[in-house]
Structure 1
Amino acid sequence: MTAHRLLLAACFLALTLSAQNPPLYQNSAAPLDQRVNDLVSRMTLEEKISQMMNDAPAIERLGIPAYNWWNECLHGVARAGKATVFPEPIGLAATWDARLVGTMANAISDEARAKHHEFLRRGKHHIYQGLTFWSPNINIFRDPRWGRGMETYGEDPYLTGRMAVEFIRGLQGDDPKYLKVVATAKHFAVHSGPESERHVFDARVDGTDLFGTYLPQFEAAVRDGGADSVMCSYNRVDGLPACASPRLLGDILRERWKFGGYV
């Protein structure tokens, strides 16, 4: 009987200590990389695979809520009810006023946060309700026949870079620990149409055009703007899919620019 009591007491103590010491990934004071590694180590292969699309289901046993990574705010919070609508980026670029773009982005992220909190209050976790935004579009507008040219800041890599930096800073905020929302610089790289062939087009580009036209604004977005996310482009670049390019994603983005966010 005494042994049984001791065993029960030990189990009770273990449960009590477990309740008092939550797993590392739930400790907001711990370093982020350690929290991420701890969480991933607890996930099954099936759970990891389930998180690979924008619509990520909840993992209830780990206390992870459902989340949809797809949201848009190119010139205002999009597709989530009423919101302030600002001019298209091609029009904003004509102002040559990057600080104005930053002020606009700050207003957009204010509305984005408010909408997100309201969705959470109502128990909603659907598309266009999260805090991860697939904006800005900082591709170079080289051909007026491209149907998405109005999403960009035009044909100038330098101006596009300055606009991108202020837009990203305005969206993400200046808190040293927490992002207001996540900005995603897209589409990396050499993506300027044609839209109908974007999934099969192979962009052949020499080094001068790549580093002089198609990459400067992305470097500014990452190094100066601090973009937490970069979207790889749909097309191929010199024969390889941009989303599987060791040169673009590894050598340039990670190694040269020291990008620490996610693609």
Structure 2
Amino acid sequence: MMELLFAMALAVQRPERTLQLAEVKQADPMVLAPKMLPPETSEQITGGWVRRYWAPGQMYQALFWEKSLPERDGICARRVHLVSAGNPTAPGNPDNPETVLTVSDLGSGVQYGPSYPEPATEARCAELTGYIGASQGQVDNQLAALDRLTETMRLAAGTADLPFALECDPQESATACNDPRRALAELPLDKLLRVQPSRPLPPRNASTPPGPRLFVQTDAPKNWNAAEVEFDTSGPGARSWIVTLTGDERVETVRLRSAMIIRH
């Protein structure tokens, strides 16, 4: 699922490095960083995580991040580094703490997070936990979608009539859509996972020719007038919010969907 986190730039390979399983399993990322990253990089690390991913053998990934700083109004940014440590031929169970894992650099990139409802200051950025990875060539569109999302949340938290249509699909949840406006206002930004801009096709009508409809490449600017924002599991029922924003000059429709998603 790491392709949802950020677009990776391939790293220059260094001589093979190895670690024992005991050094990686349930390790403190701050202790592990100097063992997996170059000294000049590990010195900049302020946090991270280490997770096993379920593949043959003993396979782990570690994500390390540097200090988060204000990128622009309402947005924080931090540089991240993804590294793997694995042995695909080792027994998956039981564990042998002396199993040798090969360390590989997977890449580095930048993650972004909204500071809403506060301004993006160094103190605010340091406490954020909800970040997305930006796809190459899509950074501006993804950050614009984040701006749109937090503006709709701000409006939903107020008392004035909403200037956009608000829809909610509970997907078999008994309570998810009891109060859609409150659900929008209180979206768990600390569980932010992904922002995917899109350009939906206009609805088919009587004047639309039959058959497949495709976008045609032209020199005209691309109008990314929609985005899907996905959150990790939060709240009761182990469900995840998926939010779709549509509109050209402004947000015209916000659609909330409460989904049961199994992530590996």
TM-score (norm 1): 0.27
Q: Which has the higher helix share?
A: 1
TM-score (norm 2): 0.27
